[in-house]
Amino acid sequence: MNGAPKSKQDPAAADGLSIVVPLYNEALHLPALHERLTALAERLNRERQLAIEVVYVDDGSRDNTAEVARRLPAENFDLQLISFSRNFGKEAALLAGLDHARFGAVLFMDGDGQHPPELVDKLVALWRDEGYDVVYTAKATRAGESAPRRLAVRLFYRLLNWGARNPIPENASDFRLLSPRAAKALKQLPERNRFFKGLSSWIGFRQIRVPYEPARRAHGRSSWNLRALVGLSIEGLTAFSTAPLRLASLLGLLLSVSALFFGGWIVFETLYYGKDVAGYPSIIVGVMVIGGVQLLMIGIMGEYIAKILSELKRRPSYFVAEHDVRERKSVQKQGPREAAE
């Protein structure tokens, strides 16, 4: 992935960089993050003559995140605020930011402060100076996490990349920069249900990994509970891997072979040793095993069928309740409007 010849400088780089920041209940932390982004934009303007815009996407927050974002000054960069009609999820927020980004290159980062804005200088340097199209970050270590979680993550990526032609990098985060042509390619993908970590890897181009240590949250707790993480894992697996279907087939084959050998052994014991065949216990165990495997396979196929149904319905991934645009050091503002994106 990193061995491709160096590409020429993208002529669209002068169009600037759009920084997309999904927000969900980040009212307490947002002002501090905004100050850091303001300093970042001033530095990139001065050192690289790079125009910056920040796109805040409020994903149906339950606190006053949108109200706090409206009061933030547009200094050193243009500012957009997109407020959803309800909570649609982080992947939808990333898509909305990508759809509304006005500059060629796009950078995604979380709004909880765990993705350090100071690292953006390095990401920009790898894009502008080294010619990389996708500069993604990945956790340098998971030492601070519990052993079961580390094991679950490792198993997830092993299953996700099993037989994949283009493996998704392990431990990669959504904190990544896309060059203009990479962002344009990502916009062309038609699916409604998106897994941005996988899509950013799937589009190809020249990519590089940047290790980083996520900072601690300054306020509140993460909204990524076990249920949300399991849901995102299922979304990623069904979007980029047929491994669950293959495992179901292999499990069915294993049980069939086991049943064949078990049946042959019973016949052998009956004819050679004269033993009686066990009655109810063997029947009940057999029915429970076969029934459980069948239900498991039906559930796996159901996940894929549900994804197909969702794509066929072609419902919008999100609805915008309010969209404010302010240019740098100006007070131009678009009023609230209802729009389906």
Instruction: Give CA–CA dist 71/69, Å, rounded.
Output: 5
What is the three-class DSSP state of 322?
Answer: strand
The answer to whether residues 332 and 325 touch, using CB atoms and an 8 Å cutoff, is yes
Q: Are strands 319-326 and 78-84 parallel, antiparallel or unpaired?
A: antiparallel
* pLDDT exceeds 80 at position 121: yes
The answer to whether residues 55 and 19 touch, using CB atoms and an 8 Å cutoff, is yes
* pLDDT exceeds 50 at position 334: no
Q: At what angle do helices 90-100 and 180-188 cross, to 10 degrees?
A: 120
Mean pLDDT, residues 134-154 taken together:
71
* pLDDT exceeds 90 at position 107: yes
Which pLDDT score is estimated for 332?
41
* pLDDT exceeds 70 at position 141: no
- pLDDT single digits (tens) 181-210: 888 888 888 777 777 777 877 788 888 888
* pLDDT exceeds 50 at position 318: yes
Residue 165, token pair as written in the block: 């032609």
Mean pLDDT, residues 159-168 taken together:
63
- pLDDT single digits (tens) 44-97: 888 888 888 999 999 888 888 888 888 888 888 888 999 898 888 888 888 889
The answer to whether residues 99 and 16 touch, using CB atoms and an 8 Å cutoff, is no
Which pLDDT score is estimated for 137?
86
The answer to whether residues 196 and 108 touch, using CB atoms and an 8 Å cutoff, is yes
Instruction: Give CA–CA dist 89/96, Å, rounded.
Output: 11
- pLDDT single digits (tens) 257-285: 776 677 677 677 677 766 666 666 667 66
- The percentage of residues in the chain with a pLDDT greater than 90, rounded to a whole number, is 5
Which pLDDT score is estimated for 165?
66
- The dihedral region occupied by 286, where left means phi > 0, alpha psi between -120 and 50, and beta the remainder, is alpha
Amino acid (one-letter) located at 86 = R
What is the three-class DSSP state of 153?
Answer: helix
Q: 119-123, 155-159, 181-185 — which is least confidently predicted?
A: 155-159
Q: Residue 18: which pLDDT band, with cuts at 50, 70 and 90?
A: very high
Neighbours of 190 (CB within 10 A): 6
What is the three-class DSSP state of 269?
Answer: helix
Residue 186, token pair as written in the block: 């990502």
- The percentage of residues in the chain with a pLDDT greater than 70, rounded to a whole number, is 64
Which pLDDT score is estimated for 327?
78
The alpha carbon of 128 is separated from its chain's Cα centroid by a whole number of angstroms, namely: 25
* pLDDT exceeds 70 at position 10: no
Q: Report the mean per-residue pLDDT for the chain.
A: 75
* pLDDT exceeds 70 at position 233: no
Determine if the pTM surpasses 0.75: no
Longest distance between any two alpha carbons in the chain, whole Å: 94
Which pLDDT score is estimated for 91?
84
Q: 90-94, 241-245, 286-290 — which is least confidently predicted?
A: 241-245
Instruction: Give CA–CA dist 170/154, Å, rounded.
Output: 8
Sign (positive/negative) of CA torsion 169, 175, 179, 181? positive
Mean pLDDT, residues 159-184 taken together:
76
Which pLDDT score is estimated for 331?
38
What is the three-class DSSP state of 318?
Answer: coil
Contacts of 255 (CB under 8 A, 6+ apart): 289, 290, 293
Task: Give the gyration radius of the chain's Cα atoms.
Answer: 25
Smallest Cα–Cα separation from 22: which of 117, 93, 79?
93
Which pLDDT score is estimated for 144?
59
- The dihedral region occupied by 49, where left means phi > 0, alpha psi between -120 and 50, and beta the remainder, is left
The answer to whether residues 333 and 77 touch, using CB atoms and an 8 Å cutoff, is no
